[in-house]
Amino acid sequence: MTTLTIITGDQLSPGLSALKAMERGKDHVLMAELCDEVRYVRHHLKKIVLIFSAMRHFAEELQAAGHCVHYHRFDPDASIRSFSDAVAAHCQRHAIDEVVVTRPGEWRVFDEFNKLEKSLGIPVRMLEDDRFVSTPGEFADWAEGRKSLRMEFFYRLMRKRTGLLMDQQGEPEGGQWNFDADNRRKWKGSPESASPMSFVPDDITREVIALVSSSIDGFGELDGFDFGVTRAQARRALAHFVRTGLAWFGDYQDALPDDEDYRFHSRLSAYLNIGLLDPLEVCEAVEGAWRSGEVPLNAAEGYIRQIIGWREFVRGIYWLKMPDYADGNHLAGDQPLPAWYWTGETGMRCLERAIGNTRRNAYAHHIQRLMVTGNFALLLGVRPREVCEWYLAVYADAYEWVELPNTLGMVMFGDGGLLASKPYAASGKYIQRMGDHCANCKYNVAERTADDACPFNALYWDFLMRNEKKLGGNPRMRMMYRNVERLEPAEKAAITKRANWIRENVEVL
């Protein structure tokens, strides 16, 4: 009996369940650079290079370890365009008795593989992806019967499960589960920032860069590609972050600096999401740095929470609610996404900086994604589908299982509050408080309805007024709506007028 294991571009882990299930040297491994995967959204060019180069390196490692690897290189004119095509073509040429896959990261591909057995006439076995702490089934059990799903409670379960940052009595280290309240500092010029580790492209990566630049019409800039493309490099990037950035991660994780792209963020998501790093090895390195006194507890806890809290939680929501989740539009957004989300050409400094970072690096840190590009799309009332497509395309770490709940749920409140207890709507004041964009902006953050007023301001109040029926009863928004009540009718009318003007002229802001 010969099995075929297909490994997708985000499954580059030697311990992958599908790899563990096969007989090395006898069974076949199939990896394929595919037109359909390249084109389902207009991916950032750096994301495609990262995936292709990491796939090629991984295939070499598997071959060196004795696996029988069949690898399709990208050809824009190839007749094999999808995973199903690649598997079907392989099964026609070789006597394959069973196809084995690890659960794909995206519902779209999960659905494709589920249909494969019927079209191939060969059994297809799907194994759980055990590179996560939790499983979709376990999440569904936890969610069953709960009125609301909150990350914090799931996170505590994951802390107990993993033992991360737990003391010997089974209590959280430091006597608290969450130190988020300490993590709101505005960066004022010191300590000196850390940048993620940068890697010089090797021969394989250079070949991929040439291929991608000549044959794929993607988003963003390809110059300066500096991601690691192997597990060994990703581990060096982890060690570098723990040494240089982690200590300050908690304090400044919400900061919005005008002059830097990363500050104390790790840029590890791109490696985690394709399997070059394992989430638990990352958390263990972070916990180790705290236990040996190198970093404070608020930093270690804040970082670990992002991984075994948010990362696991959004994946649970995704598999619990897909495929209908993608259609959510609770606030009835009906505006198109401004064209400058793709070009970065806007006079609003915070947006120009966030989109510039995105274009250059296939990266923006969480607060840029949530409170700058996300907040603006929310306040403007953009159609969630267009916003989701943008986020899925432009980041090196973007896969739908993690992108969709963050965008549709956290940013757009499109799921009506399943993921977040209230929308993360904020005026220009928030952006001013968290960084120094406003000091460098042509708009005046202190103004609400004047011609040069920061557009976030009128849009913020207009957002609250427009959505009062849906959001006015939310206890977490009581303060916001008290402030709306205090507005004079003339001020409300001026806000509506300015917000309408912004919507009509958004392309030239």
Note the residues at the interface with ligand DLZ (CB under 6 A): 8-10, 32-34, 37-38, 43, 48, 51, 104-106, 109, 399
Which residues touch 152 (CB under 8 Å, ≥6 apart)? 177, 178, 309
Can you tell me which of 102, 233, 266, 467 binds ligand FAD, judged by CB under 6 A?
A: 266
Min CB(109)–ligand DLZ separation in Å: 3
* Residue found under tokens 């824009």: 76
* Percent of residues in the chain assigned helix, strand, coil, to nearest 5: 55, 5, 40
Out of 90, 159, 235, 267, name the contact with ligand FAD by CB under 6 A: 267
Report the nearest approach of ligand DLZ to the CB of residue 403 (Å): 11
Assess contact for 106 and 83: CB atoms under 8 A: no
Residues in contact with ligand FAD, counted by CB under 6 A, come to a total of 28
* Min dist. Cβ of residue 411 to ligand FAD (A): 4
| 272 vs 477, beta carbon nearer ligand FAD | 272
Alpha helices per DSSP H over 103-202: 107-120, 136-143, 151-162
Residue 307 CB contacts under 8 Å (≥ 6 apart), including other chains: 272, 279, 282, 283
Half-sphere exposure at residue 157, Cβ-oriented, CA atoms within 13 angstroms: 17
Query: Residue 38 or residue 387: which is nearer to ligand DLZ going by CB?
Result: 38
For residue 34, the partner it binds in ligand FAD, ligand DLZ, none, with Cβ less than 5 to 8 A by kind, is: ligand DLZ
- Taking the least distance from each CB to ligand FAD, the nearer of 178 and 266 is 266
CB 360 within 8 A of CB 220: yes
Our CB check for ligand DLZ shows the closer of 105 and 302 to be 105
> Which does residue 265 bind out of ligand DLZ, ligand FAD, none, counting CB within 5 to 8 angstroms by kind?
ligand FAD
Binding of ligand FAD at residue 370 (CB under 6 A)?
yes
| Minimal CB distance residue for ligand DLZ | 9
Of the two residues 375 and 407, which places its CB atom closer to ligand DLZ in the complex?
407
State which of positions 278-307 bind ligand FAD (CB under 6 A). Answer: 303, 306-307
DSSP state of 222: -
Please, which residues have CB within 8 angstroms of residue 420's CB and are 6 or more apart in sequence? 409, 410, 413
Binding mask 408-437 for ligand FAD (x = CB under 6 A): --xx--------------------------
**Among 155, 310, 341, 376, which residue interacts with ligand FAD (rule: CB under 6 A)?**
310
Alpha-carbon dihedral sign for residues 91, 95, 97, 101: negative
Residue 32 binding: pick among ligand DLZ, ligand FAD, none (C-beta 5-8 Å cut-off by kind): ligand DLZ
CB 411 within 8 A of CB 333: no
User: For residues 186 and 178, what is the distance between their CA atoms, to the nearest angstrom?
Assistant: 20
Residue 36 or 226 with smaller CB distance to ligand DLZ: 36
Task: Estimate the crossing angle of helix 231-244 against helix 279-291, to 10 degrees.
Answer: 30
CB of residue 18 vs ligand DLZ: minimum separation in angstroms? Answer: 13
311, 349, 359, 498: which one binds ligand FAD (CB under 6 A): 311
Q: What does each C-alpha distance from 97 to 3, 30, 85, 91, 210 come to in angstroms?
A: 6, 15, 17, 9, 38
- DSSP code of residue 173: G
Nearer to ligand FAD, 34 or 307 (CB): 307
Local structure of 6: helix, strand or coil: strand
Judged by the rule CB under 6 A, the positions of this chain that interact with ligand FAD are 265-269, 272-273, 303, 306-307, 310-311, 314, 365-366, 369-370, 374, 391, 395, 397-398, 402-403, 406-407, 410-411
